[in-house]
Chains A and B, each alone.
Chain A
């Protein structure tokens, strides 16, 4: 427990277990568990701890009861710092563990400190790995975690993994180890197939949630849907909309029919519109629906005339969240009109529909809070959003055609309109081919509640397309005027001035994404020296070198990670950091295996604080300094 003493003397330096103190800005939102009844003798994590009351034990028992109302990791971390007694009690009563970086701490260390955990969140690869910037097989394996937790936490109920690699065997072990298992949420994961899923669905009889959002599942011939146990299930949420595997529809239909608690169902594009109809008819209580293909009826679907799709939607009185439309035939869109007025969340980001088709839907969605669309709706479509969706909190506009140097259908016009029509906007992700500072400044003034601002001007180094100026002023206005901003992604032509603004005004910024931006080391220095809350910094293809890297030494222990790829770092510079900060794991990744040692320039620097020292599962292309 040496870290414990250390941090009691130096409260400013967060040298204690980094895993538990990392920021939660992306912690998945879930309803906080109801506070346990104080009167009940069966309060979990409590009764068994101190069997015989004693004068100072009484205080600890009181503390245990009180601590159970503390659910947020950050609060619990703070409580654990008060004294040894508080540290111990808090550790014994913590039921939810959040590990922001799977390599920051070893599984054994977690299970030793927190013996009574019911729910675990573990995140693996850094986000830039999604864009092929990280070579394959870098790591982030669930195996060691499930092996350790399988023995330590027999009562584990919930596992949430993001950007981790799992094997079928890991899933089998999970299913065998946790008899009370209830929720499996895998986001952006891969490495397993339908066999692994089969183990989970067949053995975890209390399974309530199976969520495979954006996770890759390979089809190995096993029909996993038909392995849910017979009889009524506890299923509340079944999400497999991105799973590219064929689905046995009869088994799915039977499953839905015997899952009375099912509220969230997101189907993959193998499910045809006719099959969707039958599912909706048997599950009208759904609150969240992913429609699957929503295209032409398939040969196996019964006659089109028999299907009153509009009636099926009307019958779903509780529907608030609609997505899917993976191969949409716009002719069928009018079927959803009757539910539009109730929708708070609509995801059309895989639906290639035109402006008029979009407008006919969106003009009815006046309660909408979350909207994901393709830029094929044009600025005109966004203007329609602005006119109707006064309550909009989150908007994402994805490119239909993700290339540079093409004409873009959305521009500063759409952004301006949204800023004027949606003053409550909190989060925006906007891909476009052209933008102006004026529109970005307007948004900074019109949408003061912005927490997340991610603008991707797809042409690299693109200036303000009307004035030709860099986009510095626009992003500067965002950090200056949006006082709640915690996440920022910048793009377009940007000089060091933009970074100066961020360093000066971005006092709450926790996540910053930079690509093809800046002029010199100065830019990065501004940010590292000016942003005290910075946790996650990901940079690619920007002219920042060793001098900038070294200027952040005071801050790296407070961060979850730093990623810099194709910048101007040298091995010596990274070595200097590694020497100065022993508890930092400094990984150099190489894009070309054979050139790893010779070349002095660094392809990728990925560094993160870690209590466990260099990991032992690093592949060939990784050098840990």
Chain B
């Protein structure tokens, strides 16, 4: 114990404790080595003072050497920076929903982080509260339909089976047949702020552009049909 304390004091004394602006300490790397040679046990670890080969056995897949000019992109390390997952998730979600795409690009949001979460709100006419779902958890419209059916199953009065075919996603043919029924219809708000019928576009396009979902009564969906068709044609 004595030896190391002495070592510490000598190390600091030798290096001038003025703590002024760094810049005069060109020999910073050397003194550490000298200090360590005083009175420590023999099992001291080799000093690795070469900045370029900083090798701590970290939990990262591969560590690229630190290039003084501009380090190449490092693989993301577990738990670093130390921000709690809850906060990371919330901010990623908020970034995605931000309508200002320039803002997102400027902040350099990795597409990985933004795409990792696609929570959208789902509301159903007549239900007392909204739900939030992660679209990325589903691969097809059918899966989504089943999930929504389970979620909102308790709220529909009348003629539904609890699970199957409860919320039927529209295609152009079915739409006409449904206009006068009390069946529920799923609609979504896309990136442009337009309300569209769920089911028109390929799944990938849907989850990329869907900002929120609303399950409304079939009779109220009349006005959507023409716009939906126009938009589909526009997208080609």
Contact = CB atoms under 8 A, between A and B. Distances in A.
State yes or no: do A and B come from one complex. yes
A184 B67 CA distance: 51
A464 B22 contact: yes
Contact of A131 (B23, B54, B84, B94): B84
Given A467-B23, A547-B44, A500 B107 contact: no
A522 B35 contact: yes
Interface in A575-625: 591, 601
Task: Give the interface SS of chain B, mostly helix, strand, loop or mixed.
Answer: loop
Interface in A353-378: 354, 374, 376
A274 interface: no
Interface string B39-53: 011011111110100
A530 B7 CA distance: 12
B144 interface: no
A214 B86 contact: yes
Contact of A327 (B21, B46, B94, B108): B94
A341 to B, nearest CB: 28
A207 to B, nearest CB: 23
B123 interface: yes
B81 A497 contact: no
B108 A406 contact: yes
A546 B77 CA distance: 24
Given A132-B85, A350-B91, A405 B129 contact: no
Interface residues of B, number: 72
A25 interface: no
A145 to B, nearest CB: 24
A224 to B, nearest CB: 13
Contacts, number: 214
A270 B129 contact: yes
Contacts of B1: 529, 551, 554
A551 B4 contact: yes
B45 A399 contact: no
A366 B47 CA distance: 50
A352 interface: yes
Interface string B67-95: 01001011011111111111110110011
B108 to A, nearest CB: 4
A209 to B, nearest CB: 22
Contacts of B35: 496, 500, 522
B131 interface: yes
Contact of B32 (A214, A247, A327, A496): A496
A98 B95 CA distance: 40
A86 interface: no
A464 B23 CA distance: 10
A601 B59 CA distance: 13
A94 B143 CA distance: 57
Interface in A237-256: 242, 244, 246-250
A241 to B, nearest CB: 11
Nearest to B85: A132
B104 to A, nearest CB: 10
A404 B58 CA distance: 15
Contact of B22 (A473, A521, A568): A473
Interface string A500-527: 1101100000000001100111100110
A142 to B, nearest CB: 20
Contacts of A401: 91, 95, 107-109, 113
A131 B94 CA distance: 21
Contact of A470 (B12, B28, B57, B107): B28
Contacts of B95: 352, 400-401
B47 A504 contact: no
A477 interface: yes
A526 B4 contact: yes
B152 to A, nearest CB: 11
Contacts of A249: 128-129
A398 B90 CA distance: 13
A566 B79 CA distance: 12
Nearest to B4: A525
A497 B11 contact: yes
Contacts of B43: 521, 545-547
A521 B47 CA distance: 9
A460 B74 contact: yes
Given A404-B81, A469-B23, A504-B8, A522 B107 contact: no
A497 B28 contact: yes
B181 interface: no
B15 interface: yes
Contacts of A541: 56-59, 77
A461 B79 contact: no
A249 to B, nearest CB: 7
Contacts of A270: 129-130, 132
Contact of B44 (A130, A350, A464, A522): A522
Contact of B41 (A214, A441, A470, A547): A547
A493 interface: yes
B5 A530 contact: yes
A342 interface: no
Contacts of A248: 128-129
A242 B86 contact: yes
Given A132-B79, A326-B90, A438-B21, A459 B71 contact: yes
Interface string A551-573: 10010000000000111100000
A468 B80 CA distance: 22
Nearest to B94: A352
Given A133-B78, A504-B9, A461 B66 contact: yes
Contacts of B40: 521-522, 525, 547
A476 interface: yes
Contacts of B80: 131, 404, 458, 460, 515-516
A27 to B, nearest CB: 21
Contacts of B59: 541, 565-566, 591
Interface of A: 128, 130-133, 214, 216, 242, 244, 246-250, 269-270, 298-300, 326-327, 349-350, 352, 354, 374, 376, 398-407, 409, 431, 437-438, 441, 456, 458-461, 464, 467-470, 472-473, 476-477, 480, 493, 495-497, 500-501, 503-504, 515-516, 519-522, 525-526, 529-530, 540-543, 545-547, 551, 554, 565-568, 591, 601
23 contacts: A131-B84, A132-B78, A244-B132, A248-B129, A249-B129, A298-B123, A299-B214, A327-B97, A350-B90, A352-B94, A401-B113, A402-B87, A403-B76, A405-B73, A407-B108, A431-B83, A495-B49, A497-B28, A500-B11, A504-B8, A520-B44, A545-B45, A547-B44
In the complex, the 3 A-B pairs of residues with the closest C-beta atoms, listed nearest first: A131-B79, A469-B22, A246-B129
